[in-house]
Amino acid sequence: QVQVVESGGGLVQPGGSLRLSCATSDRRFSTYSMAWYRRAPGKQREWVGSISSGGMTGYKDTVKGRFTASRDNAKSTMYLQMNNLQPEDTAVYYCNQFPPVGGYWGQGTQVTVSS
């Protein structure tokens, strides 16, 4: 069974930055498109951004220009650099394949943006 572990979340002030990591045990990681998702309080989980196996990226409009996804296939790990964080970015952040597959969700990492 593949293990997926998100980390790097925390409490940050508006305008601050965080770098999330998504470490997997998947030997086929390099062949997948991967994505970040988030679930804000009282809302459904939504797609944030994705990165193809070749490194092409796409983002939700509200994070475009502020968030950057990257990956290290040798480490089976994906990252999300988040800059200029805003209160509306507060959520639990998850990673999964793109599109997501069952059994690939980790526990998520909490990001709270507040002054």
pLDDT tens-digit series, residues 50-101: 999 999 999 999 999 999 999 999 999 999 999 999 999 999 999 999 999 9
How far apart, in whole angstroms, are the C-alpha atoms of residue 100 and residue 51?
A: 13
Q: Token pair for residue 22?
A: 């998504």
Q: Looking at residue 12, what is its pLDDT?
A: 98
**Residue 26 φ/ψ, nearest 5 degrees:** -85, 115
Inter-residue contact 3 to 104 (CB < 8 Å): no
Inter-residue contact 93 to 37 (CB < 8 Å): yes
pLDDT at 1 over 90: no
pLDDT tens-digit series, residues 2-28: 999 999 999 999 999 999 999 999 999
Which among 103, 92, 110 is positioned nearest to 24, based on CA atoms?
Answer: 103
How far apart, in whole angstroms, are the C-alpha atoms of residue 65 and residue 59?
A: 9
Q: Looking at residue 93, what is its pLDDT?
A: 98
| Residue 48 CB burial class (10 angstroms; 0-12, 13-18, ≥19) | buried
